[in-house]
Amino acid sequence: MNARGRWRGRSSVARNSAKQNLHLNHEELLERKLGFDLYTEGDKKLGWLLTFSPSSWEDQETNKMYSCVDLYFVSQDGSTFKVKHKFPPYFYAATKHKMEFEIEAYLKRRYEGEIADIVIVEKEDLDLKNHLSGLRRSYLKLSFDTVQQLMRVKNDLMHVAERNKSKLEASEAFETIFIGESKERSQDLLDCIIDLREYDVPYHVRYAIDNDVRCGQWYDISVSSDGILLEKRADLLQRAEVHVCAFDIETTKLPLKFPDAEHDLIMMISYMIDGQGFLIINREVTTTFYIYCS
């Protein structure tokens, strides 16, 4: 990539970050109006986890964006708050036998500024014929600051891994390759990436699995220099008293068709809040229907 291309890339990232920050600011203001103030400092809090969703967080000192998970809590007194828990997204890459260190160094050079960290981990591979014996294989764990970075690198490597995997299936499995240092070429190393794993796990689901976080449970939440700390309170079994809202929307539609917002009208909306029900009727539609039936 030439200098002009790199400048355009940085400009695009800057514009996207600015739009994202603007969106986050509006989102924060809206949630504060709804009672979910952001908890960033103070004494330890006890909260019942209502729900969580993927979000972003900006480091005020470096103006760098990070992916995080927004956790929404309700306290024992009925008050609500939320926290942002920073969590690096990641996926795994499989390489040809004994090529992990070379591929690690190559990927760090190729995706400098995109990949935050790479570590070699031992994982079970269910594709191995003798995996029930406890045999494990090495994977590269590629971690990122944002989900967007993960998607860009994943999309770039996916077709490479699929191509290399098809070639490997046509030859001997896990063939050992020796590449002389003087003959090393980027394309040779790229051909050694044979598979990508767990790239399709949704970010917030990955967070919940790795941190054992579940909705409908009590947690002690505290803030430290390392970020947000969550401690599950297994001794508290009574769920929090939360407000429950349910609704149903009835619309017109053509025979044997699904409703279409372009031309179908809302007939009525029924909703219930904390056991008390309400009904909103579109008199224009119901009156016309009554006259037609009469």
Model pLDDT for residues 138-171, shown as the tens digit of each residue: 999 999 999 999 999 999 999 999 888 887 666 5
Span of 49-63, 148-162, 178-192 with lowest mean pLDDT: 178-192
Which pLDDT does position 176 carry in this prediction?
46
Residue 24 has pLDDT above 90, yes or no: no
**Mean pLDDT over each residue of the chain, to the nearest integer:** 84
Q: How confident is the model at residue 127 (pLDDT cuts 50, 70, 90)?
A: confident
Q: How confident is the model at residue 183 (pLDDT cuts 50, 70, 90)?
A: very low
Which pLDDT does position 294 carry in this prediction?
56
% of the chain residues with pLDDT over 90: 55
Average pLDDT value for residue range 238-258:
91
Q: Note the pTM of the prediction, 2 decimals.
A: 0.75
Which pLDDT does position 36 carry in this prediction?
92
How does pLDDT run across 35-47, given as a tens digit for each residue? 999 998 889 999 9
Residue 80 has pLDDT above 90, yes or no: yes
Q: How confident is the model at residue 177 (pLDDT cuts 50, 70, 90)?
A: very low
Which pLDDT does position 47 carry in this prediction?
96
Which pLDDT does position 243 carry in this prediction?
84
Residue 12 has pLDDT above 90, yes or no: no
Average pLDDT value for residue range 94-119:
93
Which pLDDT does position 180 carry in this prediction?
44
Judge whether 110 and 137 are in contact, CB under 8 Å. Answer: no
Average pLDDT value for residue range 98-103:
92
Average pLDDT value for residue range 253-258:
92
Which pLDDT does position 18 carry in this prediction?
53
Which pLDDT does position 184 carry in this prediction?
42
Residue 128 has pLDDT above 90, yes or no: no
Residue 185 has pLDDT above 70, yes or no: no
Question: In which order are the strands placed within the sheet that holds 64-74?
Answer: 37-38, 80-86, 64-74, 45-59, 218-224, 227-232
Judge whether 144 and 150 are in contact, CB under 8 Å. Answer: yes
% of the chain residues with pLDDT over 70: 81
Q: How confident is the model at residue 174 (pLDDT cuts 50, 70, 90)?
A: very low
Residue 84 and residue 227: Cα distance in Å, rounded?
A: 9
Q: How confident is the model at residue 28 (pLDDT cuts 50, 70, 90)?
A: confident
Which pLDDT does position 9 carry in this prediction?
45
